[in-house]
Structure 1
């Protein structure tokens, strides 16, 4: 993301904080997702909004003309702020709308709801079934069929917030794989709560008490609360592999054997 887009995103996130507490709802985020898909579907529309030569007032007027009768007051205000900013590219603009929508939905969720954990669980289910992954990812699938599939898969198994997020991601993937889509969304949702996500991979399940101790220790190191996603993978042989953002702490036996092989062949 270019420097102009980083500034635009910062101002867009600040606009969320300016809304009265409790005013942002799931519907606000859903409205923003829908508007982002409409903008994304029109090259001319998104081109005008992301063109630095287009005046801010012109962008604002365009947004209000197209969406004024269809969006809630808060959603329209946020979308106007986002679209009026200067973005480095059309894709950055769409990413900005998506991120603000995700943050709004995270803000509107009950305090005890872990959207990021639900997204992780859905991702694990999809990655374990190639047919399912193809069904939700294929560019040839009808949007209505994808929505129906997501609704069927998550009904009674995930919160309404997670269903809304996943539906949007499969409707507007923008060239991203489903795993990337879900990981990015979960990271943004966690960050809204000033948390990060640690993915812990081990050969066998880790006891909850051990996971909690690991979470506390890593949280002290990184200076923020962590949500732990546990992955069981027999290929790691033993030990742990921990990934937090771009950081990887690999203490698995598999990693040590690989290091040994490299030293022997050097």
Structure 2
């Protein structure tokens, strides 16, 4: 999110952190409520427009939320939803994205309390790569004709007993909701949120051959110097990466492969 939405999300997240301090807060229930609220709003274009309309009085939007969800979801999820609709958002979809991200944050906070946040982050990355590398799996999870329940069932059967239960829950959510992002990219986004909770950035490093530990340490130091914070490096092998590395850190791409340099040289010659 950018601009107004970025500010609104930061404010809502701060309120989220305050609400989760209560000992009686069941994080899994909060997440399920927030996902359900997002899906219910998403089912009606008119409802999305109403709750994302910056020109509509906050009191009107709050009244709509209360009439729909009060007594049907827990008090934490309801309060967070009210916090979301009170604020201004740059795009209609940002309201839905904010509610979903709060649900994801709730599950990741549970992982943190179980001392499993690092493991969940790594598993989300690996599942993202698994989907990306399998045309059959990617096609099944991106099939517009498939129902959310079917997509959720596919990923749940694949991961149950092989990954942390919170990873399974997050992966199921990642493939269940339709959005502009492909399922693999949505799970990578969830991994990036986990990395941010660990006060780290997530870097995806592709190379033709496995990198030695000393190479990874040096690369980590270089990236930490660039971004001013620790960087979690996840590696993948890609035979198309010849004689170099392709590094993705958020929206930043550092492509230092032979093929990339040849393409750049070709572009300069044509120009």
| Shared fold (TM-score, shorter chain, > 0.5) | yes
Q: Distance in 2 between matches of 1:167 and 1:83?
A: 26
Whether the 8 Å contact between 1:190 and 1:197 is mirrored in structure 2 is yes
Whether the 8 Å contact between 2:128 and 2:185 is mirrored in structure 1 is no
Whether the 8 Å contact between 2:199 and 2:230 is mirrored in structure 1 is yes
Q: Which has the higher contact order (CA 8 A, sep 6+)?
A: 1
Give 3-state SS (helix, strand or coil) of 1:201's partner.
strand
- Cα distance, 1:262 vs structure 2: 4.8
Are 2:187 and 1:182 equivalent residues in the alignment?
yes
Structure 1 partner of 2:171: 166
Structure 2 partner of 1:138: 143
Q: Distance in 1 between matches of 2:40 and 2:249?
A: 34
2:30 is matched with which residue: 25, 28, 34? 28
Whether the 8 Å contact between 2:210 and 2:237 is mirrored in structure 1 is yes
Are residues 211 and 153 of structure 1, via their aligned partners in 2, closer, same or farther at CA, if it must alter by over 3 Å?
same
Q: Which moved more, 1:128-137 or 1:211-220?
A: 211-220
- Residues 118-129 of structure 1: matches in 2 within 5 Å? 118-129=123-134
Structure 2 partner of 1:12: 12
Q: Distance in 1 between matches of 2:247 and 2:122?
A: 16
Q: Which moved more, 1:105-114 or 1:43-52?
A: 105-114
Whether the 8 Å contact between 1:173 and 1:181 is mirrored in structure 2 is no
TM-score by length of 1: 0.89
Are residues 75 and 218 of structure 1, via their aligned partners in 2, closer, same or farther at CA, if it must alter by over 3 Å?
same
Are residues 20 and 132 of structure 1, via their aligned partners in 2, closer, same or farther at CA, if it must alter by over 3 Å?
closer
Q: Distance in 2 between matches of 1:123 and 1:20?
A: 28
Are residues 172 and 206 of structure 1, via their aligned partners in 2, closer, same or farther at CA, if it must alter by over 3 Å?
same
- Residues 46-85 of structure 1: matches in 2 within 5 Å? 46-85=48-87
Considering only aligned residues, what root-mean-square deviation do their CA atoms show, in Å? 2.3
Are residues 175 and 255 of structure 1, via their aligned partners in 2, closer, same or farther at CA, if it must alter by over 3 Å?
closer
1:136-183 CA distance string (max 9 Å, x none): 111101222212111101112222222222222222222322233223
Q: Which moved more, 1:39-48 or 1:51-60?
A: 51-60
Q: Distance in 2 between matches of 1:57 and 1:262?
A: 55
Structure 1 partner of 2:98: 96
Q: Gaps (5+ residues) in structure 2? A: none
Give 3-state SS (helix, strand or coil) of 1:234's partner.
coil
Are residues 161 and 83 of structure 1, via their aligned partners in 2, closer, same or farther at CA, if it must alter by over 3 Å?
farther
Q: Distance in 2 between matches of 1:71 and 1:219?
A: 42
Q: Distance in 1 between matches of 2:247 and 2:82?
A: 40
